[in-house]
Amino acid sequence: MAMTFSEITTALPPKAVTTIDQLPFPRVASGKVREIFDLGDALLLTATDRLSAFDVVLPDGIPGKGAILTQMSNWWFAHTQHLIQNHLLPDQAGEFQRRGITDRDLQLRSMVVRKLTTVPIECVVRGYLVGSGWSSYQKTGEVCGIKLPTGLRQADRLPAPIFTPTTKAPKGQHDEAINDAQGIAIVGAALYEKLKSLSLALYQAGHDRARQAGMILADTKFEFGTDATGDVWLIDEVLTPDSSRYWPAESYAPDQSPPSYDKQFVRDHLLAVKWDQKTPAPRLPAEVIALTQEKYLAALKNLLGG
Ligand SMILES: Nc1ncnc2c1ncn2[C@@H]1O[C@H](COP(=O)(O)OP(=O)(O)OP(=O)(O)O)[C@@H](O)[C@H]1O
Ligand SMILES: [Mg+2]
């Protein structure tokens, strides 16, 4: 059962939850944002309120961010089911009950998911020329080996969305852009073509839906998994502000990088204090935390309505 915006916001925690302890399940992995627990026949994927910037986890979290990301992913999983099956077990409420997961805050930030083998590339799609794509285009006229028309401006919409995958770097390292040949070498030609067409279709559906909600989906990253028979599933988080760049449609204009619904305030702050981008990262002012929480909530409200 999908949740409404007000059901989610009334349950937000007063303080950021950055660690998840005392669960009776074995922890199988701890990512920058998520903790993964083994439920035997499934996994519990729990999003904390941790925030990473420049690939480093910051000491401060954003209260409720984990629940916002999980509920937004759940909404998108429901709206992309016609394109691809996803890792959520069908009856989330029933799964929580059956497994003794009764804490409301924990439920909101968690998913009970199918155990799958993660595909070792990150499937990035870009519809607009911005960020690292814009830097690369200015130098070479290309983005990830894809030649683009001359004369494009920063934040211009691309003639058609492009698939620009990256490696999945181990903890502490940066993902590297790869071209089609490198992608094929990693996952094989058949799977690569499938991932590319699925990613482009998902981006298009996401872009159209976001547009109806007053936002532009500039770019995004999908992750996929495979089961024992080789079937492909959409996994992880999907079309959230952590995995995507959303712009408010009304302030969009080419030639400038529009403000986004994510951690731009955090990045701006970290650049202003001239942090060397090594751990430990500096603490965030309360105002930056509050503004960032507002951005995540605004994106959720636009999509879910309410
Ligand atoms: N259904 C699934 N089965 C197996 N692994 C999964 C599944 N869904 C997601 N994962 C994996 O769980 C991890 C989620 O953790 P998290 O997002 O915190 O880590 P991260 O990817 O290191 O951080 P970031 O997203 O900031 O790069 C990812 O490695 C993802 O590939
Ligand atoms: Mg992740």
Q: What is the model's pLDDT at position 51?
A: 96
- pLDDT, one tens digit per residue, over 126-151 is 999 999 999 999 999 999 999 999 99
Residue 164 and residue 132 in contact, taking contact as beta carbons nearer than 8 Å = no
Q: In the structure encoding, which two tokens stand for residue 208, read together?
A: 């159209």
User: Which residue has its alpha carbon closest to ligand 1 atom 4?
Assistant: 116
Q: How far is the CA of 199 from the centre of ligand 1 (A)?
A: 17
- pLDDT, one tens digit per residue, over 69-109 is 999 999 999 999 999 999 999 999 999 999 999 999 999 99
Residue whose tokens read 């020329």: 129
What's the gap between Cα 191 and its chain centre? Answer: 22
- pLDDT, one tens digit per residue, over 141-190 is 999 999 999 999 999 999 999 999 999 988 778 889 999 999 999 999 99
Alpha carbon distance 106, 91 (integer Å): 16
Q: How far is the CA of 34 from the centre of ligand 1 (A)?
A: 7
Model's pTM, two decimal places?
0.95
Q: What is the model's pLDDT at position 1?
A: 57
Alpha carbon distance 147, 113 (integer Å): 38
Q: In the structure encoding, which two tokens stand for residue 300, read together?
A: 């959720």
Residue 77 and residue 63 in contact, taking contact as beta carbons nearer than 8 Å = no
pLDDT value at 37 more than 60: yes
Residue 47 and residue 67 in contact, taking contact as beta carbons nearer than 8 Å = yes
Residue 48 one-letter amino acid: T
Percent of the chain at pLDDT exceeding 90: 89
- Ramachandran region, residue 230 (left: φ > 0; alpha: ψ -120 to 50; beta: rest): left
